[in-house]
Amino acid sequence: MKLLALDSATEACSAALLRDDALSERFEIIGRGHAERLLPMADALLQEAGIGIGDVDAIAFGRGPGSFTGLRIAAGIAQGLAAGARLPVVPVSNLAAIAAAGARFTGAQNILACLDARLGEVYWAAYEMRDGMPVAVTDERLSKPDDVTLPHAGPWHGAGHGFGAYPALAKRLGLPPTGIDAKLPRAADIARLGAVDLAAGRTVAAPRALPVYLRNDVVHRR
């Protein structure tokens, strides 16, 4: 299996290439400029592997939630590459990717993934690890930090930069401070999760590779 993964949902920008058991990645925290950096990252990975875009089986991308601009960039590039090479696309939740990374770092089975959504809000969802994969036990949600809840008794660990933006959140929920890892999503985790979905046939055609925003009101009123 060969899978190219892209992510630009946060201030991080990354691309990964999964070839069977071999995984390579480009990852940078850049804040802005994702549109200029993401495609060259993907091209570099393909060149190093000695393959072209037509040699991969599918393209995965972080479909959100996250930055509106960043999500559109990853989705647009995934759509363009997939359409040109006639490849399927695998949309992967950024919260699930964060949960998978947090579980890998901590060994925890219950992960609360939480990303800073700005405007005093967070994107979040709770996951249980089953057979090494994060399974959502809540919907993906956008809410005030005070409205974040755990679905059942723990122990729970947190993952995502939402906890850094709102330090009182982990304390209120009783999450161990040392368990808050995987601050930003990475294309490597998008690739790992995308490979499972690809094997199961959970793909979409390029025109249906759409972002998931959660927040409907994109206008910041002063």
Q: Residue 189 contacts by C-beta under 8 Å, 6 or more apart in sequence?
A: 97, 98, 100, 101, 182
- Fold identical between 2-93+185-208 and 95-179? yes
pLDDT of residue 180: 62
* Residue matched to tokens 């025109």: 207
How confident is residue 176, by pLDDT bands cut at 50, 70 and 90?
confident
Q: Which CATH number fits domain 2-93+185-208: 3.30.420.40, 3.40.50.850, 3.40.50.300, 3.40.1280.10?
A: 3.30.420.40
CATH code that applies to domain 95-179? 3.30.420.40
| pTM, rounded to two decimals | 0.94
Q: Mean per-residue pLDDT for 16-28? A: 97
Q: Mean per-residue pLDDT for 22-43? A: 96
> Is the confidence at residue 178, as pLDDT, over 80?
no
pLDDT tens, position by position, 95-138? 999 999 999 988 999 999 999 999 999 999 999 999 999 999 99
| Main-chain phi, psi angles of 197, to 5 degrees | -65, -40
> Is the confidence at residue 92, as pLDDT, over 90?
yes
3-class SS at 53?
A: helix
The alpha carbons of the chain give a radius of gyration, in whole angstroms, of 17
SS (H, E, C) 76-142: HHHHHHHHHHCCCEEEEEHHHHHHHHHHHHHCCCEEEEEEEEECCEEEEEEEEEECCEEEECCCCEE
**Among the listed ranges 56-60, 150-154, 189-193, which one has the minimum average pLDDT value?**
150-154
- Cα distance between residue 181 and residue 12, in whole Å: 15
**pLDDT averaged over every residue in the chain:** 93
Query: Could you tell me the CA-to-CA distances from 59 to 19, 63, 218 in Å, in that order?
Result: 12, 12, 27
Sequence ranges of the domains in the chain: 2-93+185-208, 95-179
